Amino acid sequence: MSLLQRARPELVALKPYASARRSGFKARIRLDANELPWDELDDERSESINRYPEPQPERLRERIAALYGIAAERLWIGRGSDEAIDLLLRAFCRAGHDNVVALAPSFGMYRIGATVHDARFRAVTLDPSADFALDHDALLARIDADTKLVFLCSPNNPSGTLFHQHIDSLASALASRALLVVDEAYIEFADAVSACGLLDRHANLAVLRTLSKAHGLAGARIGSLIADEEIVDLVARIAPPYPLPAPSVRAGLRVLEPAALERTRERIALLVRERERMRAMLANLPAVRKVWPSFGNFLLLRFADSRRAFERLLAHDILVRDFSSQPGLDNCLRISIGTQADNDAVLAALAGAPS
Ligand SMILES: *Cc1c(COP(=O)(O)O)cnc(C)c1O
């Protein structure tokens, strides 16, 4: 069964907005999009900024598809994975009626996106004292006839846990019922095989990737949805006509050049080494109660007194993320891995902290 039967029928039937750039015609004199005929910035190296960009820039699409090892037909590129999360919620969930399931703690945008769209949000609680292990059956017990999306963030933000060993069986268990959305924002730091390799086996699998984290392009907002062609077409149909600003597309192409990709690989290796160094060093500090293993470029820690640690870091001009008000995460802070100097500054600031 096609998973489109679980999407909102009025959207499956929707004829998309016929934007000028979608017509496919090419001509020297372009008077089809009410654009200004002059380029104020007149940047020699780039597309004229007075023109609307391609809805899905072909070169960027080919490069990203090659990077992730997938067919370009399975790829939709948007303004960060955040936009893909929002569009999936809108494509599948009838507002005020359908529900989505996600882990807790996990990335906050699933809940926010669901609430903005008035979809019901169901959390599957992970136990910090069990290292956030996922109980497969507990997750499936939250699924009902109105569940449309299941978000699995792996490696999970903020716990750092990798859940990839569950993807194949979860996708099978959810087949024809719900779309399993695997958010791989941090997969590059995990030394794990992407769920993209399972797309042939599961029509109800979607993978989110981003250039924001490992590729250092958070400011450009380039994220990818990778899924069955039917789902990609549906999302493309309801997406705004020109999601990708031309300067962001240029930035994306630059970080996907071979030399840049080589630097990215080296930086990932460095960050992973630093993560493990920090994990060992932090675990030895008297102020630290627990450092969880992490497959991302961050560590989740429990302090004896997280408020004190947070303030001490801030006094040393270091900002970290406070998770202490989240259920189960009392006294927990999340620390991103920075440069070696940044990380040393964290250690130096905390070393003197009273427990
Ligand atoms: C940072 C983050 C994102 C955001 O990605 P963008 O592509 O920048 O929108 C998505 N998912 C998770 C889990 C993240 O931590």
In whole angstroms, how far apart are CA 199 and each of 7, 24, 129, 227? Answer: 19, 29, 33, 7
Q: Is 80 in the pocket of ligand 1 (CB under 6 A)?
A: yes
* pLDDT computed for residue 16 by the predictor: 79
Q: Is 157 in the pocket of ligand 1 (CB under 6 A)?
A: yes
CATH class (in words) of the domain with range 265-351: alpha beta
Q: Closest ligand 1 atom, CA of 82?
A: 9
* pLDDT computed for residue 45 by the predictor: 67
328 dihedral zone (left: phi>0; alpha: psi -120 to 50; beta): left
Q: Which of 94, 170, 159 is nearest to 296 (CA)?
A: 159
For the chain, the structural domain boundaries read 3-256, 265-351
- Residue pLDDT, tens place only, 11-35: 999 987 777 777 778 899 999 999 9
Say yes or no: do domains 3-256 and 265-351 share a fold: no
Q: How far is the CA of 291 from the centre of ligand 1 (A)?
A: 22
Structural tokens at position 278: 């920090």
Q: Which of 78, 105, 107 is nearest to 248 (CA)?
A: 78
Question: Hey, which of 85, 109, 187 would you mutate to test ligand 1's pocket, going by the most ligand atoms within 8 Å of its Cβ?
Answer: 109
Question: Hey, which of 64, 77, 82, 334 would you mutate to test ligand 1's pocket, going by the most ligand atoms within 8 Å of its Cβ?
Answer: 82
pTM for the model stands at 0.96
Is-cis flag, bond preceding 286, omega within 30? no
Nearest CA to ligand 1 atom 15: 157
| Widest distance between CA atoms in the chain | 70
Q: Is 106 in the pocket of ligand 1 (CB under 6 A)?
A: no
**106-135 as b/e: b if 16+ CB within 10 A:** bbebbbebbeebebbbbebebebeeebebe
What number does CATH give the domain 3-256?
3.40.640.10
Per the CB < 8 A criterion, the answer to whether 152 and 96 are in contact is no
Q: How far is the CA of 33 from the centre of ligand 1 (A)?
A: 33
* pLDDT computed for residue 355 by the predictor: 43
Helix (H) or strand (E) holding 156: none
Nearest CA to ligand 1 atom 7: 80
Alpha helices in 41-166 (DSSP H): 58-68, 80-92, 109-116, 136-141
Average pLDDT, consecutive stretches of 10 residues, N- to C-terminus, the chain (355 residues): 92 84 84 93 79 94 98 97 97 98 98 98 97 96 98 98 98 97 98 96 98 97 98 96 94 98 98 98 97 98 98 98 97 98 98 62
Q: Is 153 in the pocket of ligand 1 (CB under 6 A)?
A: yes
Q: Is 14 in the pocket of ligand 1 (CB under 6 A)?
A: no
Question: Hey, which of 210, 224, 295 would you mutate to test ligand 1's pocket, going by the most ligand atoms within 8 Å of its Cβ?
Answer: 210
Distance, CA of 264 to CA of 64 (rounded, Å): 15
* pLDDT computed for residue 213 by the predictor: 97
Q: Is 212 in the pocket of ligand 1 (CB under 6 A)?
A: yes
Which long-range CB contacts under 8 A does 248-254 form with residues at least 24 apart? Answer: 248/220, 248/221, 248/222, 249/53, 249/57, 249/60, 249/222, 250/46, 251/217, 251/219, 251/220, 251/222, 252/60, 252/63, 252/64, 252/211, 252/217, 252/220, 252/222, 253/59, 253/60, 253/63
CA 87 to chain centre: 13
Q: How far is the CA of 111 from the centre of ligand 1 (A)?
A: 14
Helix (H) or strand (E) holding 278: helix 258-283
Q: Which of 209, 227, 219 is nearest to 153 (CA)?
A: 209
* pLDDT computed for residue 269 by the predictor: 98
Q: Is 223 in the pocket of ligand 1 (CB under 6 A)?
A: yes
In whole angstroms, how far apart are CA 98 and each of 9, 37, 114, 159, 239? Answer: 13, 46, 10, 27, 21
In whole angstroms, how far apart are CA 348 and each of 191, 240, 342? Answer: 29, 47, 10
**What are the DSSP E strand ranges found in the chain?**
75-78, 99-104, 120-125, 147-153, 179-183, 205-210, 223-227, 288-291, 298-303, 321-322, 332-336
